[in-house]
Amino acid sequence: MSETKKTENPVPAVDAWTKWVALSTTLLAVCAAFATLKGGSFSTKTQLATVKASNRWGHYQAKSLKETAYATESTIIKALESSLTAPESKKIAGKAIEKADEEIKRYKAEKAEIMEEATYLDADAAYCQERGGNFGFAIMFLQIAIMLSAIAALMKKQIFWLIGLCAGALGVGFLAYAWPLYEKFHPAPVAPVHAVEAKAAK
């Protein structure tokens, strides 16, 4: 009775480093998702601050026009007052001038507050845009790292994974700088007191 030899297809050995590729790619994908979320948040904040600043500057311009109108009115009345002789007419003109000057003073005070708030909003928009840019760099390097890791797994080339890890380290570095560290090195602009009080009152 002859013995039958069973031939089995040899199972290719799995490189140990490929397991780490899967793990590192998962971690990089989590970091990329978080960076995308935070970057999108700061992009939204930039747009909102820009729109608010534009509205405040428009309000400032409207106050300037009204102030100019009262200043013109005051100048005209003052010119007419010098030619008046009747005491009653001078008294009426004086009251009109006083009222116009009070309005000018009020509009100047309001303009100062509006300018302070609009300047803060411009600074806040620039701050959010710059901080969001760091999240953008983090996303870029993390995506490169993920792509290189995928190529390494497909081609069984460890060098692509190692290069990807370097890119991933840069991405994580930008993420760490943009998220917990950026505000320590670059404090956010401080809102004017009157704007904070108005927001709290709502």
Which tens digit of pLDDT belongs to each residue from 179-193?
A: 888 888 888 898 887
CA pair distance 121, 118, nearest whole angstrom: 5
* C-alpha–C-alpha distance, residues 75 and 109, integer Å: 20
Is the pLDDT at 5 greater than 60? The verdict is no
Residue range 93-109: mean pLDDT, rounded: 92
pLDDT of residue 80: 85
pLDDT at residue 132 in the model: 94
Instruction: Assess whether pLDDT exceeds 90 at residue 45.
Output: yes
Better pLDDT: 91 or 115: 115
Task: Please state, in angstroms and rounded to a whole number, the distance separating the CA atoms of residues 28 and 141.
Answer: 10
Distance, in Å, from the CA atom of 166 to the CA atom of 120, rounded to the nearest integer, reads 39
Residue entry with tokens 């290719």 = 12
CA 41/CA 129 separation, integer angstroms: 10
Please state, for a pLDDT cut of 70, what percent of the chain lies above it: 88
Q: For position 198, what pLDDT does the model report?
A: 59
Position 3 confidence tier, pLDDT thresholds 50, 70, 90: very low
Which of 45-54, 71-80, 83-92 shows the highest mean pLDDT?
A: 45-54
The CATH number that domain 17-184 falls under is: 1.10.287.950
pLDDT tens for each residue of 59-80: 999 999 999 999 999 889 888 8
- Return the domain boundaries, the chain: 17-184
